[in-house]
Amino acid sequence: MRKNSFDWFRLDNAAKIFPGQNSNTWSNIYRISVRLTEEVDKDTLQTALEATLRRIPSFNVRIRKGFFWHYFERNPNTPAVLPDIKNPCYRIKFKENDGFLFRVYYRGRNISVDVYHALCDGYGAAVFLSTLTGEYLRLKGKDVHYNDFVLDINEKPKKEEIEDAYLKYASSKVTFKRGDKFVYHAVGTKVPRHMNNFTSGEMSFKELHSISKSYGVTVTELLATLLLDIHYQKQKREQKKQKEVCIQIPVNLRKAFPSKTLRNFVLCLRVKIDPNYGEYTFEELLRTVSLQLRLANDPKIINSMMTQNLKLERNPVMKFLPLPVKDLGIAISFIITGEQTTTSLLSNVGPVPLPEGVSENVEKLTLFTGAGKLNGARCGVISHEDKMVFTFSNCYEDRDIEREFYTRLVKMGVHVKIESNRE
């Protein structure tokens, strides 16, 4: 019998590098969580998960090795929901968990999904968790409505939801050339292997938006500037040779291109300063961050970046290298350069508009980026209605960056409620 498009498909352009980076100590994993107003029932959640996988088949896969590239094929197994663990974003091994590249956890009023980045970006994960939550609430007797985030599980999956949008939209005649240097990193005492320190600050989006508006910048620009300034000031205090400070910001390309894909469709922009040019005030940093982001976040520039990323994949020599050679090259490149060109990560999924029947039963959403191997303070941001949660993921015991960040927000007039797994 002929296989359909949901039985197997290739990894998208962004996903192709992740299998080569995967190791016993690190995977590119992130977590997205929802806190409900009532305790989570395990059996109902299990039923909801099985229904959600029929609607979003791009999650219902396992990874396989071809001769030249990895690919996804439909997973015949059934994933089980699990009691939550103390070490979120725990690494993925392809032969564990019945081959699934995500895990669904429950604890108290929380439902959490740990996702291997090869499956999708933060937007895709938000749609998966929102649809799972919507189906769970429907099974609990709620009158659930549907939108772009909470999909109707009775609808058939759509082919465009599994498309490689990079291949579809990359069409620039020029390619974007990066000139990234090795940059400053805040280091400290490492936590035990496979453990991360998470610190979440819950705040009002309206309060933060009002402050960013008073500066003439967006919320993301304000948050990125705070991170940049804190690392800039920390490096100055250390009195070492001054290096560039760089914040990496993934951008959802669905805002620039009309894709419905639920897989990866982001590009990472970078905002940076070189302290060797002289002293920077906070207002100067705000201006340069805003200018850098707005210049880079142009559809034509973005298209040239996508085209550059596809250039290596389309290279005839690279294309026909056997998979083990490709994976070895990616692994060596990651060991040598890895996170060397970024000081920190700021991933902002933005607002998740939940429909009637779901929204009133959700207290908040939280995004946890996996802690890096070198980057200490990696940050995830997500909001639901007026409640925005900013979360630090840290591979170090040191917490001075988190403390300084939230302290400065409070001084600006933002009320912040802190949660952490440190205590």
DSSP assignment string, 54-115: HH-TTSSEEEEE-SSSEEEEE--S-PPPEE--SSTTPPP-TTSGGG-SEEEEEETTEEEEEE
Q: Which CATH architecture has domain 197-420?
A: 2-Layer Sandwich (3.30)
Q: Report whether pLDDT(4) > 80.
A: no
Rounded average pLDDT over 303-322: 83
Residue type, 124: G
User: The CATH number of 8-160 is which of 3.20.20.140, 3.40.50.300, 2.10.25.10, 3.30.559.10?
Assistant: 3.30.559.10
Residues 6+ apart with CB under 8 A from 76: none
Q: Report whether pLDDT(43) > 70.
A: yes
Residue indicated by tokens 């009158």? 143
pLDDT value for 193: 77
Q: Which of 304-308, 333-337, 357-361 is modeled with the greatest confidence? A: 357-361
Q: Report whether pLDDT(277) > 80.
A: yes
pLDDT value for 1: 32
Of 350, 347, 343, 349, residue with least CA distance to 401: 343
Least confident of 91-100, 225-234, 335-344: 335-344
The ranges of the chain annotated as CATH 3.30.559.30 are 197-420
With residue 139 as reference, give the H or E element that holds it. helix 122-139
pLDDT value for 127: 98
| CB 288 within 8 Å of CB 40 | no
Q: Report whether pLDDT(321) > 80.
A: yes
Per DSSP, what are the bridge partners of residue 165? none
The ranges of the chain annotated as CATH 3.30.559.10 are 8-160
Percentage of the chain exceeding pLDDT 70:
98
Question: What are the tens digits of pLDDT across the range 7-25?
Answer: 889 999 999 988 888 887 7
